Amino acid sequence: MTIDFRKHPDGLVPAIVQDANTKCVLMLGYMNQEAVTKTKETQQVTFFSRSKNRLWTKGEESGHVLILTDMAVDCDRDALLIQAEPKGPTCHKGDDTCWGDSNTPNYGFLTALEEVITNRKNNPSDKSYVASLFAKGINKIAQKVGEEAVETVIEAKDTNSDLFLNESADLLFHLMILLQAKGKTLNDVVRVLEDRNKG
């Protein structure tokens, strides 16, 4: 990894820190060669503090360090992307990130869909299919997951990809409803998979 520190008059390159697991952007700092070297040696993200005019390891006072998992340089070789595991809040104000956001996993559209399902559960409407399933109870929801699983298996044995994908979408959708009915989330399932992967 070659970093071109000469592109910046002060010899400092911006370093974006991202949570290695959730992919949330945590903070922005600046690094010189010495900070990069120390970060690699200690495995704790270290910056050059412009206000203190010295090397500064994140969390050196609070204990909320950032454990390095990966470091990459951009295509122009003048900016860094740091992947790290935060040990506590990253912002000095006590927030998870320096933008005030919560450092929670986001699975894109699936997270948005999960929020819609939660809303339908908590604010039922007569026009909502999801709300009607919640009203019928856990047995009906579990039955729907079983039906969609069988239909997915049937379509998997055929050659029509569109039908297979549609049944797979129905299965995933109803599984997400079942998770909500059991008070669980997609992230709970992901944690189980991550734990299995470590084992």
Structure tokens at 44: 């704790």
- 119 and 153 co-located in one domain: yes
**CATH code, 144:** 1.10.287.1080
Final residue of a structural domain among 41, 71, 86: 86
- 8 Å CB contact between 103 and 19: yes
Alpha-carbon radius of gyration of the chain: 23
Burial of 68 (0-12, 13-18, 19+ CB in 10 A): buried
CATH of the domain at 46: 3.10.20.810
Residues 115 and 173 reside in one and the same domain: yes
Q: 8-31: b or e for each residue (b if 16 or more CB lie within 10 Å)?
A: eeeebbebebbbbbbebbbbebbb
CA-closest candidate to residue 179, choices 106, 117, 127: 117
Mean pLDDT of 8-22: 93
- Which residues, listed in sequence order, are joined to residue 84 by a DSSP beta bridge? 19, 68
The 10s digit of each residue's pLDDT in 122-145 is: 999 999 999 999 999 999 999 999
**pTM, entire model:** 0.73
Q: Structurally, how many domains does the chain consist of?
A: 2
* 93 is a domain residue: no
Domain hosting 141: range is 109-198
Does residue 182 lie in a domain region? yes
Q: What is the pLDDT of residues 47-76, one digit of tens each?
A: 999 999 999 999 999 999 999 999 999 999
Task: Give the model's confidence band at 194: pLDDT under 50 very low, under 70 low, under 90 confident, else very high.
Answer: confident
Q: Is 103 part of any domain? A: no
User: Would you say residue 54 lies in a domain?
Assistant: yes
pLDDT at 24 over 80: yes
